[in-house]
Amino acid sequence: MNKQTDKRLAATAALGLIGIIAAGLVFGWSRFWANWILWFLFLLTIGLGSLFIVALEHVVGARWSIPLRRVPERLSSLAVLMGPAALLALFSLHFLYPWTKPENLQNPVMAGKAVWLNERFFIWRVIGCVVLWAIAYWVFVSGSVRQDRDHNPSFNLRARRLAPLFMVVFGITITIVAFDWISSLEPEWYSDIFGVYIFAGTFLAGLAATTLTVLYLKSKGRLPEIKPDHIYNLGGFLFAFTVFWSYIGFAQYLLMWYANLPEEVLWYKERLQGAWGPLLLVLAIFHFLVPFFLLIPREAKSNPKFLFWTAAFILFSHWLDLYWMIFPVLGHGMHLGWPELSFGFFSIGGVLLWIRHSMSRGADMPVGDPFLREGLGFRL
């Protein structure tokens, strides 16, 4: 059955690959690269959000999450996988990013940002971020896997010392991702809290993916020691960061609406016209109202089947949020068709195949962690 599933996923990814190449030739490379950026950022934020969860456990010395930690450790490999995708995305610069065109430097706003928004510095920032994420993955995840074999408690001390440093690195690099890959699609616009907004979505995506995977593994008879109290805590974090994401998103909009400055409202003006306005309303309902009310009851946070579909809904909403931010730069209304479907097949098929294999390697729990027994005994 596993081999058959792998073959189906590989076939889905291959079909999607054929479709996206054909879509680039037929619909133009701007739409191709917009889809590439969308899926690259969607998967990258899941990986970085998962890596943040791992580091956060070490920073605060949490015990309850230790039995679950191997899941976000494995999911964080998406951040490493997206390294080559980020380098390939550099070919999108001349198709999507107006600051790369010399004639646009006549614009005083773009000229003022040229110190930051220039191709050479942009490329070095991308390489630097990819290297830093790979190092963090090696420190926290590879070290945890090695501890399964040698049961050396020195890993916990090393991770505890380095985790605060990673938080600084994470804060800087996720802000760079926000401003470089999304905000600079329209370089005349800026927002002081845009990096915080992307962080909120990234952490929520990592939580949702972790919850989905934990519940899936538990439904397959793996992770039998995971108790309802562990599941409840995941649901509680999903609820809390759904509210946090919504607060940051509304605060950003409210401040710009109130100030009504031309260089600030331009971005929202484009995303409220035509079909984008109703999509924003759908996003507010899907990304906030639905999960908020679904997760209010205490029982909902510990109901595996209910929580599974709620987490899946949150992940879809995160994809929709990125779509709403990126695709208006293409103009000519909303784009949802063959190219988007092909990218979905390619990305979902390939990533599920990657995750299936990552979930089959090593122990499902960090069995070498000296505090695992304490985590398994967690009770609310």
Neighbours of 287 (CB within 10 A): 24
The span from the CA of 237 to the CA of 233, in Å, is 6
The span from the CA of 317 to the CA of 295, in Å, is 15
* pLDDT given at position 130: 97
Where are the strands (E) in 21-90, listed by range? Answer: none
Best CA proximity match to 57, nearest among 68, 49, 65: 65
The span from the CA of 73 to the CA of 341, in Å, is 29
- Give me the phi and psi of 262, to 5 degrees please: -55, -40
SS3 260: coil
Q: Tens of pLDDT along the chain (380 residues)?
A: 577 888 888 999 999 999 999 888 888 899 999 999 999 999 999 999 999 999 999 999 999 999 999 999 999 999 999 999 999 999 999 999 999 988 877 888 888 888 899 999 999 999 999 999 999 999 999 999 999 999 989 999 999 999 999 999 999 999 999 999 999 999 888 888 999 999 999 999 999 999 999 999 999 999 999 999 999 999 999 999 999 999 999 999 888 888 888 777 888 888 888 889 899 999 999 999 999 999 999 888 989 999 999 999 999 999 999 999 999 998 877 888 888 999 999 999 999 999 988 887 778 999 999 999 999 998 87
SS3 178: helix
Q: Which residue is listed with tokens 């998103």?
A: 249
231, two tokens: 């599941």
Buried b / exposed e along 295-312 (16+ C-beta atoms within 10 A): beeeebbbbbebbbebbe
Q: What angle do CA 339, 341, 347 make, to 5 degrees?
A: 100
Amino acid at 121: F
pTM for the predicted model, two decimal places: 0.95
The span from the CA of 119 to the CA of 97, in Å, is 10
Determine contact, residues 204/318, Cβ cutoff 8 Å: yes
* pLDDT given at position 308: 94
The span from the CA of 307 to the CA of 291, in Å, is 10
The span from the CA of 159 to the CA of 170, in Å, is 15
Determine contact, residues 280/290, Cβ cutoff 8 Å: no
Q: Which residue is listed with tokens 């479709």?
A: 19
CB within 8 Å of 103: residues ≥ 6 apart: none
Helices and strands, number each (H, E), in the chain: 18, 0
- What is the number of alpha carbons within 13 Å of residue 137 lying toward its C-beta? 22
Amino acid at 298: R
305, two tokens: 């089947």
107, two tokens: 């614009």
Q: How many residues does the chain have?
A: 380
